[in-house]
Chain A
């Protein structure tokens, strides 16, 4: 099992450009998440999808959109990139609730390092 995969690994954008970060998981998890990691701020939740067909805003959703394409895939889109969106982006997945002993444990992808000039 590959677990959680993310593409691309690195990306440089100019202000105003758009891009989509891709995430896929092969653990048959119901829930998926997008975080950003900035120095001294830990991980902040951008959007999440509790189950296929639903998406909700997290702590810092402004400037982002998401699509839960199917149970495996959850993409994050930056419509008009800004320098403040320079960050490392992580996707994660988890089982929903206490089923299968998952007990809310989230599993993370390797991250995408995004620089906006």
Chain B
């Protein structure tokens, strides 16, 4: 079965330090992978995606993610965290069961950046 896992419910980091939010996936063939961010009382906002090509993907707000096929991972990273980065982050993978655009979401990781 296709799935995506976010092993950490919460990640705490000090402002200015690098941050990593982890995501691993299980899908047959080549995955299409996504990261979304949700600020309090808001909808999900698209951050970045990996479809093909360079394993390092750059996205909005200075975030990037590295696709690692051998480790089946797609971790979200940022070199220097901001307090305003505090939010809920979701990893997702395209559901390849059929000709649709369905996404399978992880359970989310709450990022808390302390001043």
Given A104-B32, A105-B34, residue A50 in contact with residue B101 (CB < 8 A): yes
Chain B contact surface mostly: loop
B43 adjacent to A111 (CB under 8 Å)? yes
A interface residues, tally (CB under 8 Å): 27
Residues in A whose Cβ lies below 8 Å from that of B94: 104
A106 adjacent to B107 (CB under 8 Å)? no
Choose one: A40, A48, A107, A108; the contact of B102 (CB below 8 Å): A48
Chain B residues engaging chain A, CB cutoff 8 angstroms: 9, 32, 34, 36, 41-46, 49, 51, 90, 94, 99-103, 105-108
Chain A residues engaging chain B, CB cutoff 8 angstroms: 4, 31, 33, 40-43, 45, 48, 50, 56, 58, 90, 92, 94-97, 103-111
A42 adjacent to B101 (CB under 8 Å)? no
14 contacts between A and B (CB under 8 A): A31-B101, A40-B9, A40-B107, A41-B107, A43-B90, A48-B100, A50-B101, A90-B43, A92-B44, A104-B32, A107-B46, A108-B43, A109-B43, A110-B42
Residues in B whose Cβ lies below 8 Å from that of A42: 90, 105-108
B46 adjacent to A106 (CB under 8 Å)? yes
B46 adjacent to A97 (CB under 8 Å)? no
